Amino acid sequence: MIELLQQYWQQYLWGSPGHWSGLVVTLWLTVASVVLGFALALPLAIMRVSTRPWLAAPVWLFTYVFRGTPLYVQLLICYTGLYSLEAVRATPMLNAFFKDAFNCTLLAFTLNTAAYTTEIFAGAIKATPRGEVEAARAFGMSGFILYRRILLPSALRRALPAYSNEVILMLHATTLASTATITDLLKVARNAASDYYLPFVAYGLAALLYLAITLGLVWAFQRAERKWLAHLRPVRSDAGAPRSV
């Protein structure tokens, strides 16, 4: 066990010059895919709730496909499937993009989390109280201003609990990155287990690191919920009985 820790602690935690550690790769994939997925999901969610079928239907199809198929299959399609197409290999930009395992993995993760996040945000937009929308329209708001000032801020606050689960699930999904030969946290654990025949120790260390990251995310989202959803918490009236704001 001591030899395993001495040999692999840098690969688990800090890495070496020119090489990222498994922890850094896992965090990078999580943050990058969540940020890109969030940026993609916002406009898609607005399109998803549109009453115009030519806007809503393509987004519905996108979310249906990516939520209805395993992320593992999506990763394999991005990593090996697309590059097998002659049209991809014949296009210099696409050829360079899909030859990089990081690009393929990040693309699969981003599209997957964007699909789930789109449905989360779309549901939150639909759940916006009608009174808020009518009050905004009474002040002359419509279109972009209505979404920017009323609908999106309100919906994003209500979506926090569900979105926090999606971010944590995305962290756990990064364990598939080793399928694309990326040396993430799980890949380092596999290498350590095979070298020293101590799978309990090797995978246990990885589990502890995943748990630590998850606890950090839970703490951060709980802080955000206490700040931005404070108006939804019940308060006590003068008589002492709880009531909602």
pLDDT tens digit string along 48-100? 988 889 999 999 999 999 999 999 999 999 999 998 899 999 998 999 999 99
CA within 13 Å, CB half, 139: 11
CA within 13 Å, CB half, 224: 15
d(CA 140, CA 148) in angstroms, rounded, equals 14
Residue 170: how many other CB atoms lie within 10 Å? 23
DSSP string, 6-41: HHHHIIIII-BTTB--HHHHHHHHHHHHHHHHHHHH
122-169 confidence digits (pLDDT tens): 999 888 877 777 777 776 777 777 777 778 888 888 899 999 999 999
pLDDT reported for residue 227: 83
**What H or E segment, with its residue span, contains residue 219?**
helix 199-228
Domain ranges of the chain: 2-243
Confidence grade of residue 234 (pLDDT, cut at 50, 70, 90): low
Alpha helices in 11-151 (DSSP H): 22-48, 53-68, 71-76, 86-90, 92-98, 101-126, 130-138, 143-146
Kindly provide the b/e burial profile for residues 117-132, where b requires at least 16 CB atoms within 10 angstroms of the residue's own CB: bbbbbbbbbeebeeee
pLDDT reported for residue 245: 44
Whether residue 33 contacts residue 106, with contact meaning beta carbons closer than 8 Å, is answered with yes
* Tokens standing for residue 196: 């020293």
pLDDT reported for residue 134: 73
Whether residue 244 contacts residue 231, with contact meaning beta carbons closer than 8 Å, is answered with no
Which residues contact residue 114 at a Cβ distance below 8 angstroms, ignoring those fewer than 6 apart?
A: 36, 37, 38, 40, 41, 44, 66
Domain 2-243 listed as CATH 2.40.50.140: no
Q: What is the mean pLDDT of residues 185-194?
A: 85
Confidence grade of residue 1 (pLDDT, cut at 50, 70, 90): low
d(CA 122, CA 226) in angstroms, rounded, equals 22
Whether residue 121 contacts residue 162, with contact meaning beta carbons closer than 8 Å, is answered with no
What is the reported pTM? 0.87
Q: Is the pLDDT of residue 230 over 70?
A: no
Q: Is the pLDDT of residue 232 over 90?
A: no
Percent of the chain whose pLDDT exceeds 90: 46
User: Amino acid letter at 142?
Assistant: S
Q: Which residue, among 8, 3, 34, has the nearest Cα to 185 in the 3D structure? A: 8
**pLDDT averaged over every residue in the chain:** 85
11-62 confidence digits (pLDDT tens): 777 766 667 788 889 999 999 999 999 999 999 999 998 888 999 999 999 9
